[in-house]
Amino acid sequence: MSDFRFACPHCGQRIAGDTKYQSQEITCPACQTTLTVPAPRAAAPRASASPGSTEPGSGKLSTLALVSFVCSLGLGLGSIPGIVFGHLAQARLRKDPSLAGKGLARAGLIVSYSFLLLTLAFIAVGLVVLAPLHGRQLTAQEQSANTPAVLATRRVDEVKLGNRSSEFEHNLKSRFSTAGVYLDKSFRDAGNGGFISYSMKVDPTQPMVLYCTYWGNDAISRRFNILVNDKVIATQTLNFNDPGRFFDVEYRIPQNLTRGQTNVVVVFQGYPYKTVGGIFGCQMLKR
């Protein structure tokens, strides 16, 4: 016996039949209508896969995708390899859809790019935060305009370098420091990582700048920080800044260091085994 099922064309009732009753008339048990038993439908053949064909992503795992993901787990160190192998994996997967690993390649790229961007952001912040501050070296035209009379209108205090009376009044403190005269101008310097310190008057209500003069030919091993009340406001390097001329530099002092103060301590601190100055002029001016 070969059973099959068919539907009544009038009421839709499903009826179980036998192939031997094919083309014979029967009565529908539901609607009592006479109907002819149809021929059983042949089962649709299952589509067989052609030799060598596979569904997308059903093949072996892409080695490049796996390498990309593993590299990305190295965080900052693995970001570049993770990106390179991730893009190579995606290109390989496009050429061979049977390979598995699209998700791994995508994850490797996302993680690698994320940590690369974070690394670059940290570097940028570090350069801004940790990079030494610098004063503004005045142009020759600006220096010519800054005559003694003009500077006097802005001046709050001045230390005359190498002048015992002036330096005593400004509470000179130093280490490895000497004073001298060069081209008829007095100076003070400090070798071997030494320092020079003065107490200087400031205007408690006005933004201030420290105005210093140097010799443009000074060069070898001259690098020092400038501090106001123990806060580094600038780093100065002397390296043939203006050959054959004296030059002036303005250092802006953050106003929170002078607001409400009448005096601040200015320190020129040499780097290890480096020289401070020579400093030929030191004035506290209103900005």
Range with lowest mean pLDDT among 44-53, 155-164, 167-176, 189-198: 44-53
Q: At what angle do helices 79-95 and 102-130 cross, to 10 degrees?
A: 150
Q: What is the 3-state secondary structure (H, E, C) of 39-78?
A: CCCCCCCCCCCCCCCCCCCCCCECHHHHHHHHHHCCHHHH
Residues 140, 111 within the same domain: no
Q: Does residue 104 sit in the same domain as residue 235?
A: no
Residue 155 placed within a domain: yes
What average pLDDT is seen over the chain? 87
Domain boundary among the residues 130, 148, 170 is at 130
C-alpha 72, offset from chain centre: 18
DSSP string, 240-269: SSSTTSEEEEEEEEPGGGTTT-SEEEEEEE
The answer to whether residue 196 sits within a structural domain is yes
What's the pLDDT at 2?
63
Q: Is residue 187 part of a domain?
A: yes
pLDDT at 141 over 90: yes
Which range marks the domain in which residue 109 is found? 63-130
Query: Can you give the pLDDT at residue 149?
Result: 94
Percentage of the chain exceeding pLDDT 90 = 54
* Residue found under tokens 């030929």: 280
Contacts 24+ apart (CB under 8 A), 205-208: 205/259, 206/258, 206/286, 206/287, 207/252, 207/253, 207/255, 207/258, 207/286, 207/287, 208/156, 208/253, 208/255, 208/258, 208/284, 208/285, 208/286, 208/287
Look at residues 192, 194, 129, 188 and name the one whose alpha carbon lies nearest to residue 162: 188
Q: Residue 174 falls within a domain, yes or no?
A: yes
Q: Is residue 55 part of a domain?
A: no
Does 155 share its domain with 20? no
The pLDDT value recorded for residue 129 is: 55
Looking at the structure, tell me whether residues 120 and 163 fall in a common domain: no
Where is the domain boundary, 97, 130, 163?
A: 130
pTM: 0.59
Whether residues 170 and 194 share a domain: the answer is yes
Whether 99 and 218 map to the same domain: the answer is: no
Residue 259: pLDDT above 70? yes
| pLDDT score, position 38 | 82
Measured from the Cβ of residue 253, the count of other Cβ atoms closer than 10 Å reads 24
Q: What is the pLDDT of residue 23?
A: 77
Residues 218 and 269 in one domain: yes
| Same structural domain, 106 and 166 | no
- pLDDT at 20 (0 to 100): 74
Whether residues 150 and 250 fall in one domain:
yes
23 in any annotated domain? yes
Specify the pLDDT at position 131. Answer: 53
pLDDT digits (tens, 9 = 90+) for 19-61: 777 778 888 888 888 878 787 776 555 555 455 445 555 578 8
CATH number of the domain to which 225 belongs = 2.60.120.260
Tell me the pLDDT tens digit for each residue of 77-126: 667 888 888 899 899 889 888 888 888 889 888 988 888 888 888 777 76
Q: Are residues 279 and 263 in the same domain?
A: yes
